[in-house]
Chains A and B, each alone.
Chain A
Amino acid sequence: QVQLQESGPGLVKPSETLSLTCTVSGGSFSNYYWSWIRLPPGKGLEWIGHIYTSGITNYNPSLKSRVTISLDTSKNQFSLRLTSVTAADTAVYYCARQGSNGRSFDYWGQGTLLTVSS
């Protein structure tokens, strides 16, 4: 059974950089697209971007200037870096796998709450 687990600081100060890591276990890491998605309080889901295991990335234009997604295939991990955070970046952050079924997200991490506050 594929499992994803997010890890990160929980609290970040405004203007600082957010860093989160997703560790994948129980299945193949290769030949999939790995995404970051967030859920701000009281709002809907927002796709942040993804990385293919070849290293090719694609970002949401609304965040593109501040986002970097990278991967470490030796550890079956991929990471999110979001610079210059504001309160609007407060959200539950999920990592997810895009499967072959209609390009949908078939496995998700449990989510980690990231609060931006001084």
Chain B
Amino acid sequence: DIQMTQSPSSVSASVGDRVTITCRASQAISTWLAWYQQKPGKAPKLLIFAASNLQTGVPSRFSGSGSGTDFTLTISSLQPDDFATYYCQQTNTFPRTFGQGTKLE
């Protein structure tokens, strides 16, 4: 299985801050990577697909980059609605695997 490692596991930030979350794959996955946002009691929401493509309806303050094994999710100016847990997921091979999550608080 491809292991996905996110860092940090939690981050404290304030409204207006720029926040970056990293995700590292245990083997190269090209750009087959997605990012999700999850709030307590809710289903995950797709933010970014294919490493850098913004899902329809997602605010432009979210951006993704990377290829191969190293990826980043950046929130350019943190808004109150952005406090949540973020997961990366590789979509390159089976079984699909997720990072352990990064809690933004």
Contacts and interface: CB of A to CB of B under 8 A. Distances in A.
Interface residues of B, number: 27
Interface residues of A, number: 24
B27 to A, nearest CB: 16
Report whether over half of chain B's contact residues are helix, strand or loop; otherwise say mixed: loop
Contacts, number: 69
B93 to A, nearest CB: 10
Question: Among B31, B32, B49, B50, which residue has the most Cβ atoms of chain A within 10 A?
Answer: B49
A111 B38 CA distance: 12
B95 A105 contact: no
B32 A47 contact: no
A63 to B, nearest CB: 9
B74 interface: no
Contacts of B50: 101-102, 104
B71 interface: no
A58 B94 contact: yes
A44 B91 contact: no
A interface majority secondary structure: loop
A108 B43 CA distance: 6
Interface string A69-86: 000000000000000000
A16 interface: no
B75 interface: no
Given A103-B32, A106-B55, A111 B49 contact: no
Contacts of A59: 95
Contact of B34 (A44, A105, A111): A105
Interface stretch (B17-25, B76-84, B97-105): B97-105
The 5 closest A-B pairs by CB, nearest first: A102-B50, A102-B49, A103-B91, A104-B34, A108-B43
